[in-house]
Structure 1
Amino acid sequence: MIRIENLCKKYGRFEAVKNLNLDVRDGTVFGFVGENGAGKTTTLSILATLLRPTSGRAFVGGEEVTRNPSAVRRQVGYMPDSFGVYDDLTVREYLAFYGTAYHVAESLIESRTRDLLHRVNLEDKVDAYVNTLSRGMQQRLGLARSLIHDPPVLILDEPASGLDPRSRIEMKDLIKGLRDQGKTVLISSHILPELAEMCDEIGVIQNGSLVACAAVEIVTARANGQRMLGFELLEGGRLLGERLRPNPLVTEVVVQGEQRVEVLFSGSERQQVELIRELSLAGYAIKGVSEVAGSLEELFLRLTESDTKSAQIAQPENALPASRVV
């Protein structure tokens, strides 16, 4: 449904997006995660036809965004990270205004307004002025606005930004519901655990490049019930890596040289002690073992480090095989 090929966007000498490749399958929720300034908003703005790329191509529903922007806009519901509201419009008038802008038949606007306000739980605010709504209510209204023309694709830039915990939960439920209805959703955030709760696939963007991509169950499986152990050695790191790879309690092995090996370990603390004792008796020169602290984002990037050094990953379904990463 969404395809990006070697996409670049430059502002003078600064490259906001660098040779980005991405495929988002029809009917899925794809999470685009990266720190502020990583290139998320620039990429989404290009897909929404608000920016022209410097080079490369982007397609939505088979339409190229620069060649046929009108056709793309009909297929896309875009919700920016911040959007203006109109002080003198009620919620009903606000949605009617955007329905008219999207050329929705006048006979359909009222029924769609009613249905959408029910979906986003704003039925009782239909005659309230938009500027009197809370931040969470305005975000939900923004989502309703992006759906007024019933697009098959939604592009949501930081939709949960600034929301309180209850509003975040409501927003996540809404996005899951849209997926269940067959919508394709591309959603950005700088919080990976937040995206993991609602997405089918996740991509990490850094400095304008897609550095990692995987199905969300692969990411969460490597974070839940497992921990990263760091082995410090006098020497023999590669040999230790070869010894650990067949171990059923070791999911991944990252050899960082002859004096450092990190493994993703799923055993108990007692099994960890037994493993260290076994390795010491086998003659490995282990100086110490420590648990590598870090967030889900850090774990995900650590596991995909070798992939990012070799090539940019373009296909989410193949980027992080469940059996091995390194």
Structure 2
Amino acid sequence: MSLLEVKGLRRDYGALRAVDDVSFELEAGTILGFIGPNGAGKSTTMRILATLDAPTQGEVLLDGRSLVDAPDQARPLIGYMPDRYGTYDDVTVWEFLDFFARAYGLKGAVRRQRVASVMDFTGLHPLKDKLTSALSKGMKQRVALGRTLLHDPKLLILDEPADGLDPRARIELRELLRALADQGKAVLISSHILTELAEICDTCAIIEQGRLLATGNVAELLARSAGHGAELLVRLAVGAEGDAAYARAERLLLEQPGLDQVTHEAGGLRVRLTLEPGATPAQVDEVAARLLAVLVGAGVPVCAFSHRQLNLEDAFMTVTKGRVA
């Protein structure tokens, strides 16, 4: 049984339906990336899962406990980090975490040991006596994550934790989250940085206008939406040939096997390849080299040729393409 089960979740605000029949599951020890544009319903869903809002309809089970019917029983299992999390002035990092440890009901030596353990895990111990107001954005995010971990929750709900972080801080946060999943915690994380999610998440869920459009790992999302494969970008030195060079190149490419589509863009052609699931970068290189040889052998004036494998951004753009309110 999955640690978290979301079934037919719906949330209405008057005539506005912010979340519409959302269902998914999350197992312990895995990271699920929650993807969607602003206003898609990500934060509303996460607030419901954190028991800070009640659904209009639907059920949420956490370790067999209903978040809807018995939120007080489920809250000790949840660690929630909102997208904007403030810190208090005139308190040190240790005092801040100690205050919340007391709020969670931890006492005496157990509380002190837990605060020290969280500070060690998040790398905050050297800053224990520094005021939280004087910390960098990355360190404040670490403090917020540390507060979320104090009561040792089974489920972590993190809303845009990497927002505004510099590249080093994002890498360090990613390493912390992977370590938490390895400890057996389930992590639900939202982010606009899709490359980050692709590197860390075991599964992803794409939501737009309150509806869940697709779920699965990156490879599955690509297979169901953008398709397995890669993209080539071919630029031509057309000279006097003009559009005739593009037409000839497009015709030659469409005659080759393994092509999904060819589109004419300003300055070149974009070619979508269809490959077998699990195709390696070396196999992509072989296909690209074959197509380049065909173009050059036919006298097409190629002046630039590049290729890349499809990724989570391609899946997201394909799944959400053209959806309007």
Give SS of 1:197's match: helix
Q: Is the 8 A contact 1:77 1:153 kept in 2?
A: yes
1:185 aligns with 2:187: yes
Q: CA deviation at 1:297?
A: 4.5
Which of 216-225 and 34-43 deviates more? 216-225
Aligned to 2:314: 299
Aligned to 1:269: 288
Q: How does 1:84-163 map to 2 (within 5 A)?
A: 84-163=86-165
> What is the Cα-based RMSD across aligned positions, in Å?
3.8
Give SS of 2:200's match: coil
Give SS of 2:143's match: helix
Give me the whole-angstrom Cα distance separating, in 2, the residues matched to 1:11 and 1:254.
Answer: 42
Q: How does 1:206-221 map to 2 (within 5 A)?
A: 206-218=208-220
Give me the whole-angstrom Cα distance separating, in 1, the residues matched to 2:41 and 2:208.
Answer: 7
Aligned to 1:226: 230
The structure 1 residue matched to 2:58, chosen from 50, 56, 59, is 56
Q: Is the 8 A contact 1:136 1:163 kept in 2?
A: yes
Give me the whole-angstrom Cα distance separating, in 2, the residues matched to 1:56 and 1:224.
Answer: 34
Deviations, residues 221-274 of structure 1 (Å, cap 9, x unaligned): 9899722799x99xxxxxxx9x98xx6x56xx589xxxxx96435453342357
Give the AA of the match of 1:20: V
Q: Is the 8 A contact 1:30 1:186 kept in 2?
A: yes
Q: Is the 8 A contact 1:4 1:58 kept in 2?
A: yes
The structure 2 residue matched to 1:35, chosen from 34, 37, 59, is 37
Query: Structure 1 pair 28/275, CA: closer, same or farther in 2 (3 Å)?
Result: farther
Give me the whole-angstrom Cα distance separating, in 1, the residues matched to 2:79 and 2:10.
Answer: 23
Q: CA deviation at 1:156?
A: 0.6
Give the AA of the match of 1:227: E
Q: Is the 8 A contact 1:229 1:263 kept in 2?
A: no
Identical positions, percent: 38
Give me the whole-angstrom Cα distance separating, in 2, the residues matched to 1:254 and 1:120.
Answer: 47
Q: CA deviation at 1:294?
A: 11
Give me the whole-angstrom Cα distance separating, in 2, the residues matched to 1:302 and 1:161.
Answer: 21
Query: Structure 1 pair 105/18, CA: closer, same or farther in 2 (3 Å)?
Result: same
Give me the whole-angstrom Cα distance separating, in 2, the residues matched to 1:44 and 1:91.
Answer: 26
Q: How does 1:306-321 map to 2 (within 5 A)?
A: none
The structure 1 residue matched to 2:200, chosen from 179, 198, 201, is 198
Q: How does 1:251-262 map to 2 (within 5 A)?
A: none
Q: CA deviation at 1:88?
A: 2.4
Q: Is the 8 A contact 1:98 1:145 kept in 2?
A: yes
Q: CA deviation at 1:185?
A: 0.5
Give me the whole-angstrom Cα distance separating, in 1, the residues matched to 2:26 and 2:261.
Answer: 29
Q: CA deviation at 1:40?
A: 0.7
Give me the whole-angstrom Cα distance separating, in 1, the residues matched to 2:160 and 2:73.
Answer: 25
Structure 1 unpaired stretches of 5+: 234-240, 256-260, 278-289, 310-326
Give me the whole-angstrom Cα distance separating, in 2, the residues matched to 1:4 and 1:197.
Answer: 24
TM-score when normalising by structure 2: 0.75
